Amino acid sequence: MTAPVAVIGLACRFPGAADAAQLWRLLCSGSDAITRGPGDRPTRVAAYGTLDDGHAFDGAFFGYSRADAARIDAQQRVFLEVAAQAIDNAAIDPTRPGHRIGVFAGSDPPHPSEADETYWDKDFLTSRVAYKLGLTGPAMTVQSGCSTSLSAVHVACQSLRSGECDIAVAGGVRIAEDSTGYPYLAGGILAPDGYCRPFDHAAAGTVPGEGAGAVVLCPLNDALAAGYEIDAVIRGSACTNDGSHRVGFTAPSPRGQAESVRAAQRLAGVTPEEIGYIEAHGTGTQLGDPIEVEALAAVFHDLPAGEHCALGSVKGHLGHTGCASGIASLIKTILMLRHGQLVPTANFTAPNRLLHLDRTPFFIPTTAQPWTTPRLAGVTSIGMGGTNVHAIVSGPVDRPAPSAPTASATRILTLSTPAADTLPRYRREIADAPNTAATPNSTATTGFSPEDLADTAWTLAAGRRDHPWRTAVVARTPDEAEHALSGAVEPVRATDRPKAVLLFPGQGSWRPEAVRLACERLPAVAEVYDAASALVREQFGIDLADGGPDAPNTVTEQVGLLALGYGLAVQLRNWGARPVAALGSSLGEYTAATAAGLWTLEDALEIVARRAMAMAACPPGAMLAVRRAAAELGPFPPEVSLAIDGVDLAVVSGPEHEIEQYRKLLEHHGIRSKPLATALAFHAPAMRAAAAELERVIRAAPTGRLHFPVLSNRDGGPLSDERARQPGYWVEQMLGTVRLADNVGQLLSRGDRLFLELGPGAALSGALRRHPDWQADNRVIALPGSGNEHDLARSIADLWQVGAHVEPTVLAGPGPYRLRHLPGPPFTRTAQAAAVEPVAAERTSPASPTFTWPGTGGGSSAAAGPRGEHGSLQQPGTTSSTGTGPETQGSALETIATAAALGLPTADNSESPTHERLSIATQFDHTDTVARTVLNAWHESLGVDTFEPDDDYYRLGGDSLGVLHLLDRLATELEITIPVEDFTAHPTLGNLVELARATAVPVTSHHEPITRPVVLTTGSRTPIFFVPALTGGPLAYARIAAALPDRACFGLRPPDRSTSPVRGLADLATYYLAQLDTTAEFVLAGWSLGATVAHELTRQANLLGIHPERLIMIDGHPARFGLPGLLSPEHLAVALPGLRELRAARRGRKLDARNRTGLSSPQEAAAATADLTALLRYHPRPVPVPTTILRAGRTAAQCDRLATHLAGLYPGGVQVLPQPGDHYALLTDTGARFIARTIDTVLEQGAAP
């Protein structure tokens, strides 16, 4: 017996059925979905099983440009969508670590085009799915004729059982180029009348049809353990071929078919008596059906004649869907097992007499009826050419029922889509999802149950990819969920690793319930708060357990607020949020400084605890909040101090008697005030008794640097590192006024849009909202909020909406829960043109104003129109500051004529002569052949009809292969060479035109070689210089750089090996040293061999007095101190196989298919050989720079051991961290994002956790 495999998800599109639910209704109806039309001729039948929108596709969903989408074969497009839907149906997020998902499928012959074969050849059917969905298991195109898709299921099950993958997607697709009819040949397999009648006495042939289907498979035990919803179980499957035991190559053989059925039953451990249904191949041909029944009768010969086993064929309903026919049969069988019903075969009225059914145990249902025979099925698929596949399938498996979910727990339902306009539809589909449990013939609906709500929240959180457009629903009960999902909500655009300003409240905001809720739901907060509680209990006897006492004193409240605020900051960093500034009020400034890295948490706890204890010992006093700006209150009485100067609130402090007298004075003048719940006068001279203790403890504490700006309560503006390190500053801050209004004004002037209040309540959020500079599109989120579960959940939901990577368990709330079938994000399909037409080139007359391409004038653009002093664009007839006047109108009008001649839209700029979004087609004249060629190539590559200078190639759906084709075309047509990295560093249309122009201009032999690094990204944070790996360029780091927003990233340019005298790693490092900008702090990083070069580069920089802030090595490092690579077993194990491959490549042999170096010539192989040899000969020397090493495929324990071994090489400290994926992870989007997050965390936190 073989191990059973569970079907945990499925999706399909067939004639008359856009999904599985519609297919089930079609099956139950007993009708077919063949489209029949007029136009039958003796040699052609106007009938086909046509798929609705078979040539439509949502390319934007998968990041394809319109042109790329049009180039892709329709079968690949449809199967990509179906595979994505199946994975969503199974509740799997392929981007989460821990899944090795394989994909196995096949298609009918493709429709070749002039595009690159990767767009249409069926060899790339599964690899396209793997690429777009991020599947890392085997991606195999399986072909066996009509049995292709069931063969794919069989191969997928084998791959799962062998451990090659953990989960598999299997299926097939057929989309016809012409689905209006088919040619008829008498005596052939196609029906003369457009009706497919399996097993029927009038059967005369089959009818072709279109369709696609996919199932998601998982070993049964794993599926049960993971909590997947199980639709069916494949108990066993077998694949055979008829061999030569048949009358002809295309003729079926009962012997071969029978053997596949016997083998499948044997592997499944079942007997014919246990089988209650056979889904036959059943093509409806006079010859094929009797042979198939003969083969089945041979296997079931021991059973008496009678109605023991039902027989059916889905082809009566759909037609013969070619390579998708096997998966259609399997999905039909799964649906019958799920619903416990047998369905009729369409177009069957009476049996074909050649079947001799009365001599067999088989019968053919003619109506939908309960499944009373044994609930075990066999599914057959037979390929022309003799490949037979049979699978034994049993019904759904009941999962262990979880204990009741936590009563009235607050759930967060997270929904995201690639496009904003599909979110409302997605919300409705999720709201309707609980009702789909009703049977097709039932009018009852199930509605949400508490279990449904918990399972739905868990499935949406753990079983869906996160898309950019998001909405989140917070609900405690099923009614709340249904009501919220049915309402209209504005979608939110998420950003990866959102920038945020952190706000930390001061004393007076304490709410024990808010602390308890935060620790229950937020893992990092619980970890930090528990550690802080243990530390202050042991050192100071302070009890913070369970959120501290309900009526805290000064000491417990201040220490608790620090622990909570810092824990929330750590939680946000774990979720990928990037602090860009922080404001704390009073005690909150200590939390802000600690979160920014000034002190460690342990030192900050001691500082705040001793400060609070010293303050508690000060003379008693009182404080009063006045709802007026301080400037409106005039001078204060003696001994009354202004403690907080807020936006529209003033807090005064002083002795109790004086504060009470001041309150009465305000009341007399009609000014409302409120005494604060404190017995001390904070931010007043009464605190002077605590100054000595505060100064002592701060002076003793080590300090780091602030990793992001912190606003000073005392100064009103940013707090400098130097001032933050001075104990006297913190004494001033304790005694003086908190200039909160100035702080808020400074904060809002930065232009930040996201503000996070980290502590109970929303006092600082309110101050920001009341400030006159507050913008309506600003967003503020208070975490944990006011102290109730709903507010906390709403804040978490809001954070997820803006892009935080919140853990699924946090989103779903307390368990238990199970995964369930739910709709995925809907598609918005559009019809795909057969090809993108090239831009026309005939002239037409001008029609609108024209503008010059920014930065041109002369060269190939000498006739361009007028330009302003600073590159601003002007209308013809206006006078620029350079004196250009109306005489330029002739050239401008010629430019417009060129735009129209190209068939491109011209910009209507009548309202503003400096309109920012102008069609490039209007920005060059008819003599500019370079720009015209670039536009034409851009248009054909992406399929876009409008052009702007800042259009980004990748954002419009282009990919790396498209870049190569684009640049290759320009090289051919313009006889120029544009380096890939020069374009991809700034992949805009404007940059490409400028590169083409610059390259097209002849250069003298005396030009200086380019030694500047490639700019990968720009930003304000400490720049990173990336060192190229094995003979590679900086492009390998593009994905990492893109995932490091607001951080300048540069790729060092490698030398030209054909002309450069560079030899060995030391020479290479010297070459790169000249490209570094050493005038400010910077970080060095390298991958693979580039890591060792980065080490040597750091060493040489140190000798010149240049000290990088940190050295980062990505899955590479030198041998231990004093040892060359030749004496390092690890380095030898990596280098020697590579050297053997490269030696063969130098002799002209093609590199192994598994090789991912990107080397494409013997010359490059020779350079790579030299680099690897240099690595083995290199003797590393110590580098006193803090160093971080990421290692793929290593456990935490192995990383710790490596750090110990390398400690002598890095006296400045070395940390080794595990990296998911393999050596090439940085070349994938998922791997690059993880590496970028790790790098950012290391660089941002420094001494802070």
User: What's the rounded Cα separation, in Å, for the pair 108 and 85?
Assistant: 21
User: What's the rounded Cα separation, in Å, for the pair 1232 and 556?
Assistant: 43
Q: Residue holding tokens 């006297």?
A: 728
Q: Which residues contact 291 (CB under 8 A, 6 or more apart)?
A: 252, 253, 254, 257
Count other Cβ atoms within 10 Å, centred on residue 1103. Answer: 7
Element containing residue 1242 per DSSP (H, E): helix 1229-1245
Catalytic residue, candidates 320, 339, 707, 939: 320
Would you say the C-alpha torsion 676, 677, 683, 686 has a positive or negative sign?
Answer: positive
146 is catalytic: yes
Q: Which phi and psi angles does 411 have, rounded to 5°? A: -110, 155
> Which amino acid does the sequence have at 598?
L
Query: Structure tokens of 622?
Result: 């009182």
Buried b (16+ CB within 10 A) or exposed e, 271-283: ebebbbbbbbbbb
Element containing residue 342 per DSSP (H, E): strand 341-342
User: What's the rounded Cα separation, in Å, for the pair 977 and 928?
Assistant: 18
User: What's the rounded Cα separation, in Å, for the pair 901 and 893?
Assistant: 12
Q: Give the residue from 900, 898, 868 showing the smallest Cα distance to 883.
A: 868
Element containing residue 57 per DSSP (H, E): strand 56-57
pLDDT for the residue 210? 97
165 is catalytic: no
Query: Structure tokens of 992?
Result: 């490409």
Q: Which phi and psi angles does 624 have, rounded to 5°? A: -135, 130
The angle formed by the CA atoms of residues 166, 172 and 174, to the nearest 5 degrees, is 160
Q: Which residues contact 634 (CB under 8 A, 6 or more apart)?
A: none
For the domain covering 5-394, report its CATH number.
3.40.47.10
User: What's the rounded Cα separation, in Å, for the pair 230 and 5?
Assistant: 10
Asked if residue 984 lies in contact with residue 1035, where contact means CB atoms within 8 angstroms, the answer is yes
Sequence length of the chain is 1249
Helix%, strand%, coil% for the chain, nearest 5: 40, 15, 45
User: What's the rounded Cα separation, in Å, for the pair 261 and 391?
Assistant: 8
Q: Give the residue from 1123, 1114, 1070 showing the smallest Cα distance to 1090.
A: 1114
- Find residue 1216's DSSP bridge partners: 1189
Q: Residue holding tokens 């090239």?
A: 838
User: What's the rounded Cα separation, in Å, for the pair 249 and 253?
Assistant: 10
DSSP 8-state code for residue 953: T
Query: Structure tokens of 1088?
Result: 């693979």
Residue 11's SS3 state is strand
Catalytic residue, candidates 12, 28, 55, 146: 146
239 is catalytic: no
Element containing residue 263 per DSSP (H, E): helix 254-268
Q: Give the residue from 11, 1, 397, 12 showing the smallest Cα distance to 237.
A: 1
Asked if residue 1090 lies in contact with residue 1028, where contact means CB atoms within 8 angstroms, the answer is yes
Q: Please write the tens of the pLDDT for every residue from 776-788.
A: 999 999 999 888 8
Q: How far is CA 759 from CA 62, 250, 438, 511, 520, in A?
A: 40, 75, 46, 9, 15
Catalytic residue, candidates 281, 821, 939, 986: 281
pLDDT for the residue 968? 76
Count other Cβ atoms within 10 Å, centred on residue 1204. Answer: 11
Please state whether the peptide bond connecting residue 1034 to the residue before it is cis, i.e. omega within 30 degrees of 0.
no
Q: Give start and end residues of each alpha helix (H) in 885-1011.
A: 889-901, 929-942, 960-974, 980-985, 989-1000
Q: Angle of helix 989-1000 relative to helix 960-974, nearest 10 degrees?
A: 30
Domain boundaries, the chain: 5-394, 411-440+447-493, 499-620+680-790, 837-1004, 1014-1245
Q: Give the residue from 1239, 1198, 1244, 1249 showing the smallest Cα distance to 1111.
A: 1239
For the domain covering 411-440+447-493, report its CATH number.
3.30.70.3290
User: What's the rounded Cα separation, in Å, for the pair 702 and 844?
Assistant: 75
Please state whether the peptide bond connecting residue 816 to the residue before it is cis, i.e. omega within 30 degrees of 0.
yes
Q: Residue holding tokens 């920012």?
A: 916
Q: With 0-12 CB in 10 A as exposed, 13-18 as middle and 19+ as buried, what is 1144? A: middle
Would you say the C-alpha torsion 839, 841, 842, 846 has a positive or negative sign?
Answer: positive
User: What's the rounded Cα separation, in Å, for the pair 329 and 431?
Assistant: 30
Domain 499-620+680-790, architecture per CATH:
3-Layer(aba) Sandwich (3.40)
Ranges of residues in the chain whose predicted pLDDT is under 50? 436-446, 835-926, 1002-1010, 1126, 1150-1160, 1247-1249
Q: Give the residue from 1015, 1156, 1028 showing the smallest Cα distance to 1086.
A: 1028
Q: Which phi and psi angles does 298 have, rounded to 5°? A: -65, -35
Parallel, antiparallel, or unpaired: how do β-strands 1187-1192 and 1110-1114 relate? parallel
Q: Give the residue from 346, 341, 384, 343 showing the smallest Cα distance to 148.
A: 384
Q: Give start and end residues of each alpha helix (H) in 473-600.
A: 478-486, 512-521, 523-540, 554-574, 587-596
Would you say the C-alpha torsion 64, 66, 68, 69 has a positive or negative sign?
Answer: positive
User: What's the rounded Cα separation, in Å, for the pair 413 and 429?
Assistant: 13
Domain 837-1004, architecture per CATH:
Orthogonal Bundle (1.10)
Element containing residue 254 per DSSP (H, E): helix 254-268
User: What's the rounded Cα separation, in Å, for the pair 865 and 782?
Assistant: 53
pLDDT for the residue 435? 55
Parallel, antiparallel, or unpaired: how do β-strands 369-370 and 362-363 relate? unpaired
Count other Cβ atoms within 10 Å, centred on residue 1219. Answer: 22
Q: Which residues contact 133 (CB under 8 A, 6 or more apart)?
A: 83, 84, 87, 94, 101
User: What's the rounded Cα separation, in Å, for the pair 741 and 748?
Assistant: 11
Per DSSP, the residues of 605-662 read HHHHHHHHHHHHTSPB-EEEEESS-GGGT-SPPTT-EEEEE-SS-EEEEE-HHHHHHH
For the domain covering 1014-1245, report its CATH number.
3.40.50.1820
Virtual torsion, Cα 198, 202, 204, 208, nearest 10 deg:
-40
pLDDT for the residue 876? 27
Q: Residue holding tokens 């504060």?
A: 659
Q: Give start and end residues of each alpha helix (H) in 319-436.
A: 325-339, 423-432
Element containing residue 583 per DSSP (H, E): strand 578-584
- Find residue 381's DSSP bridge partners: 389
